[in-house]
Structure 1
Amino acid sequence: MKQDVITLNQKQLVRLNMINQANSGFITVKETAEALGLSRRQVQRLKKEVREYGAAALIHKNSLKPPCNALTRQHKDTILEIRKLDIFRDCNFAHFRDLLEEHYDLKISYATLHKLMTSEGIVSPKKRRRTKPHRRRKRLPQAGLMLQLDGTPFAWFKGRKTMYCLHGAIDDATGQITALYMCKNECLYGYFHMFQRTIKNYGIPISVYADRHTIFRSPNRDKAELDPTINVADTQFGMAMKDLCVQIIPARSPQAKGRIERLWGTLQSRLPVEFALRNITNIAQANDFLETYIYEFNSQFAVEPKLRQSVFRKPDPAINLDYVFAIREQRTIDAGGVFSYRNKTFQVEDGSYTGRLPAKTRITVLFNPDLGELGMKAMYKGFLFDVTRFIPEKRSKALPKSEPSKSSHLVKKDHPWLRPKTASEKYGYTLTDREVLSILEDAFLK
């Protein structure tokens, strides 16, 4: 008769040895309980069960039963079939787990999913390389004290190699994304729209932490710090931040703003899948989706700040943000209030300013697509003026100068120029001077 094989671990073997000694009377129940860390009642129960069932009494009764919350074979096959879909092929395990719950109502722990995937030879596509050691900077205590800004180019739409730039901002204290905005490339327009969304969603921060891109900082700023006599003008973004009383802090390395750099790694793994699931294939659709996606992302990844009081500020109602986030350039008008901008001419209309602007007045042109039909306003000493398109009259081309006609002269028919030439004249048989003298000598001297 074949006997069942019972396998005990080290702890169970020690417990079996102590219980056998207690049953043999070598040690007391009290000594056994103290040695095993059990109560006397537990020791009495184990002594009885070991006498009846032997070593099998020390094995838990549920050890050979499948857990009630274990993943069934049917669920495993379903998850593996979903994973084989092209849309999920480049999805990391953590994101795939979230999508299973959101779109297929399949709840599974990350550890169970990881075990299932690796057992089937499926590896998470998100690679991790050995990182260099960097000193961690503590988070700021309050939300709104500092935002980290950056832009990242990436092929966001599956099946297309075209790269677009995603502009974003993340709060240093909470890790919340305040806004995302996509453009064809990293540009001032993208940062302006992203910051306007930040103000709409949360408010105006105290400072922003960005790299040393010329959008944020003039290349001559370092020279000006060494030589105070050098005058450096603010960039377009810098002027907007000055109007909002926001300080720009330059970062000297990508690691310095590591929070938003890590955010890009997460979004580059997740957003292409999210776009593909929703059939998002262009920038306009992506920006509409990103406006609400940030709240879903923040609910999963944001942390509580050290101090709950936020320092985000609401914008002053008297400030028109369309004017703040406009490109500003200086122009000089003529006596009719006309100026040129981007190879076109415009005219400044009369405004609230007393009197008409004189010729050669320096005005500030505000350009923003949201500023009316032309997307343009003019500013002078704090006063705003509407601008209209001015098309100068076309000048008629001057006729080419005609040469004065020469007076005609009728030549008589018997004019020497018109008489017929002699044979000698016609054929060039002319006499030389010596021959003429010889003829005259023969005629008159002889």
Structure 2
Amino acid sequence: MAQIHKRFTDDQVRGLFERYVRKEVARKYLQEILGISKSRFFSLLSEYRKDPEKFSIQYSRSSPPRIDPAIEANILKELVVDKKMILDKSIPIYRYNYSFLQGQLEKKHRQEVSLSTIIDRAKKHDFYIPNRRRGVIHDREVLTRHIGELVQHDSSYHLWAPGGGEKWWLITGLDDYSRFMFYAILIKHEQVWPHINALQRLVLEHGFPYQYYVDQHSIFRFVRNRDDRYYKAGPITDEYLPQWKQVLNDCGVKVIYALSPQAKGKIERPYGWIQDHLVRTCVRENVTTIQSARKVLAEEVREYNYKRVHSITEEIPYVRFQKALKAKQSLFREFKLPPPFKSPKDLFCLRLQRSTDAYRKVSINNIPVRINGVDPHQSVTIRIYPVNPTVSELRFWHENQLVDVQTFKTQDLKGVSSFQS
């Protein structure tokens, strides 16, 4: 609703107050007519009673609005940086972010300026892109009532740090109820192990969630090609279990698959926020390595989790998460190793099936490996746990018993350690 001085003249409002003072009209009716609150009504009435003849509702600015030339110069400088990113089609930035720019002015230059002033300068100097009309948008409301009821997990491939000249993968996990981001990891190459390791971090810190929500990427689900013209013999959808799904099955965690990108709207919004801030910060700080980009990412995630009020929940994610914990509004199950496992390394790992030969050996990447405690021609499960980038631990299981543990160079497991069996 427009301001009162734009809808009424001084004489009109003065006449209404005269009738109120003479007790001809009740206050609530005048409030409805004027479209103002109770406190605003009595504030104007007080001004009227001081001097009815000089009473006025007209608003006049005491001085013309001005900002410091140095502030205006910095606004335009930051807008130029954004425009270069928008024009570069290889960078995933498609619009101006005036709120981010406002934060940069305060952080870098110690200058406070209103958002409306930044937008005004952007429009005047051709740094403005009108919002395009959007199609049907997936509903992003909170559908869960407990933390741990639904964890959204996804990965995105972009040029996060244009100065580095190469694209990297960003893996994130988000709690649906609180919108708390459990992890955000930048990696150079997408493999199964980083996804399993992210799950391990979540479970060891918070416990087993009730279910995971992912897309139909081959890491998460085997989907037979449904568009073949002719039938081909082979596994049908979900008949083959990828490594990541095997881990979740052992954890007793359900998996839901999104049937369309739009169905993953909740994770896309934080992705958009993280992506936008990560790219803009990396450009401004001239980040060229993934190590530096990881530091920027960690700071952005910290701000998202602990400082910013989420637009959907209207709460800071960490605060909402802690409130749910205190109210026992959680579906996380305490972490306890399922039998017969002896260590988390047996659970959060990569798996291979092999059979021993007549000499109690199996072949891994054409490397013969002798296994203790297993007879010839027996089936064994090899659970591979990457201890670090150079060393992996191989744990050999036979008939639900851990029979041997050996250490391998990770490079010798190449192909196997790309972590697809």
TM-score by length of 2: 0.70
> How far apart in 2 are the matches of 1:75 and 1:294?
31
The answer as to whether partners of 2:213 and 2:258 remain within 8 angstroms in 1 is yes
Q: Which residue of 1 aligns with 2:67?
A: 72
Helix, strand or coil: the match of 1:358?
coil
2:384 paired with 1:367: yes
| Cα distance, 1:388–1:258 mapped onto 2, change above 3 Å | closer
The answer as to whether partners of 1:147 and 1:169 remain within 8 angstroms in 2 is yes
Question: In the TM superposition, what is the alpha-carbon distance from 1:143 to its structure 2 partner?
Answer: 1.2
The answer as to whether partners of 2:374 and 2:403 remain within 8 angstroms in 1 is no
**2:248 corresponds to which of 236, 241, 249:** 241
2:35 paired with 1:12: no
The answer as to whether partners of 1:33 and 1:43 remain within 8 angstroms in 2 is no
Q: Which residue of 1 aligns with 2:233?
A: none
2:263 paired with 1:256: yes
2:374 paired with 1:379: no
2:110 paired with 1:110: no
Q: Which residue of 2 aligns with 1:325?
A: 348
Cα deviation 1:95-149 (Å, max 9, x = unaligned) = 2223333333333343343233223332269x65412154565420111110111
> How far apart in 2 are the matches of 1:155 and 1:28?
66
Cα deviation 1:278-306 (Å, max 9, x = unaligned) = 55433344345534542211231444559
Q: Which residue of 1 aligns with 2:56?
A: 58
Task: Tell me which amino acid in the other structure corresponds to 1:76.
Answer: I
2:134 paired with 1:130: yes
| Cα distance, 1:301–1:337 mapped onto 2, change above 3 Å | farther
Q: Which residue of 2 aligns with 1:440?
A: none
The answer as to whether partners of 2:204 and 2:335 remain within 8 angstroms in 1 is no
Within-5 A mapping of 1:162-311: 162-200=166-204, 202-219=206-223, 232-287=239-294, 289-291=296-298, 293-299=300-306, 300-302=308-310, 303=313, 304=315, 307=324, 308=327, 309-311=329-331
Question: In the TM superposition, what is the alpha-carbon distance from 1:362 to its structure 2 partner?
Answer: 1.4
2:351 paired with 1:312: no
Task: Tell me which amino acid in the other structure corresponds to 2:332.
Answer: F
Helix, strand or coil: the match of 1:330?
strand
| Cα distance, 1:17–1:179 mapped onto 2, change above 3 Å | closer
Helix, strand or coil: the match of 1:368?
strand
Q: Which residue of 1 aligns with 2:160?
A: 156
Task: Tell me which amino acid in the other structure corresponds to 1:58.
Answer: S
Extract unaligned runs of 5+ from structure 1.
Answer: 1-7, 50-56, 223-228, 351-355, 391-446
Cα deviation 1:188-236 (Å, max 9, x = unaligned) = 12312322333355443110011122222232699xxxxxx99934221
Helix, strand or coil: the match of 1:108?
coil
| Cα distance, 1:292–1:41 mapped onto 2, change above 3 Å | closer
The answer as to whether partners of 1:216 and 1:237 remain within 8 angstroms in 2 is yes
Helix, strand or coil: the match of 2:8?
helix
| Cα distance, 1:185–1:233 mapped onto 2, change above 3 Å | same
> How far apart in 1 are the matches of 2:71 and 2:295?
35
| Cα distance, 1:119–1:196 mapped onto 2, change above 3 Å | farther
Identity %: 22
> How far apart in 2 are the matches of 1:110 and 1:333?
69
Cα deviation 1:37-60 (Å, max 9, x = unaligned) = 7777654533343xxxxxxx6265
TM-score by length of 1: 0.67
The answer as to whether partners of 2:139 and 2:265 remain within 8 angstroms in 1 is no
Higher mean Cα deviation, 176-185 or 197-206? 197-206
Task: Tell me which amino acid in the other structure corresponds to 2:276.
Answer: S
Q: Which residue of 2 aligns with 1:53?
A: none
Task: Tell me which amino acid in the other structure corresponds to 2:378.
Answer: T
| Cα distance, 1:374–1:269 mapped onto 2, change above 3 Å | closer
> How far apart in 1 are the matches of 2:271 and 2:408?
43
CA RMSD across the alignment: 3.9
Extract unaligned runs of 5+ from structure 2.
Answer: 32-40, 86-95, 227-235, 410-421
> How far apart in 2 are the matches of 1:241 and 1:249?
12
Q: Which residue of 2 aligns with 1:347?
A: 370
Helix, strand or coil: the match of 2:208?
coil
> How far apart in 2 are the matches of 1:114 and 1:242?
51
Helix, strand or coil: the match of 1:340?
strand
| Cα distance, 1:360–1:133 mapped onto 2, change above 3 Å | same
Task: Tell me which amino acid in the other structure corresponds to 1:376.
Answer: L
**2:22 corresponds to which of 5, 30, 33:** 30
2:78 paired with 1:86: no
Task: Tell me which amino acid in the other structure corresponds to 1:95.
Answer: F
Task: Tell me which amino acid in the other structure corresponds to 1:344.
Answer: I
Question: In the TM superposition, what is the alpha-carbon distance from 1:341 to its structure 2 partner?
Answer: 0.8
The answer as to whether partners of 1:153 and 1:185 remain within 8 angstroms in 2 is no
> How far apart in 2 are the matches of 1:285 and 1:59?
56
The answer as to whether partners of 1:176 and 1:301 remain within 8 angstroms in 2 is no
| Cα distance, 1:88–1:15 mapped onto 2, change above 3 Å | same
> How far apart in 2 are the matches of 1:312 and 1:343?
42
Question: In the TM superposition, what is the alpha-carbon distance from 1:370 to its structure 2 partner?
Answer: 1.2
